[in-house]
Amino acid sequence: MTAPLLVFAYGNPSRGDDALGPQLLDLLADQRLRHPEWPELELLTDFQLQVEHAVDLENRELILFIDASISCPAPCVLSRLQAARDIRYTTHEMSPEAVLHVFEKIFHRPAPPAFMLAVRGESFNLGEPLTPEALDNRDAALALLVQLCDQPHTKAWQSLISHA
Q: From residue 91, how far is each of 25, 48, 52, 64, 138 by CA, in Å? A: 24, 11, 9, 21, 29
10 Å CB burial of residue 32 (0-12, 13-18, 19+) is: middle
Rounded Cα gap, residues 85 and 98, in angstroms: 5
Give the span between the Cα atoms of 159 and 164, in whole angstroms: 14
Confidence band of 36 (pLDDT split at 50, 70, 90): confident
Q: pLDDT tens, 16-31? A: 999 999 999 999 999 9
Per-residue model confidence as pLDDT tens digits over 61-86: 999 999 999 999 999 999 999 999 87
How many Å apart are CA 103 and CA 84, to the nearest integer? 11
Report, in angstroms and rounded to the nearest whole number, the Rg of the chain calculated over CA atoms: 15
Cα–Cα dist 111/88, whole Å:
20
Q: Which CATH superfamily is domain 5-159 in?
A: HybD-like (3.40.50.1450)
Whether the CB-CB separation of 131 and 15 falls below 8 Å is answered with no
Kindly list the domain boundaries of the chain, sorted by start residue: 5-159
- Rounded to whole angstroms, the Cα distance separating 96 from 24 reads 18
Q: What is the pTM of this model?
A: 0.93
Which has the higher per-residue pLDDT, 89 or 70? 70
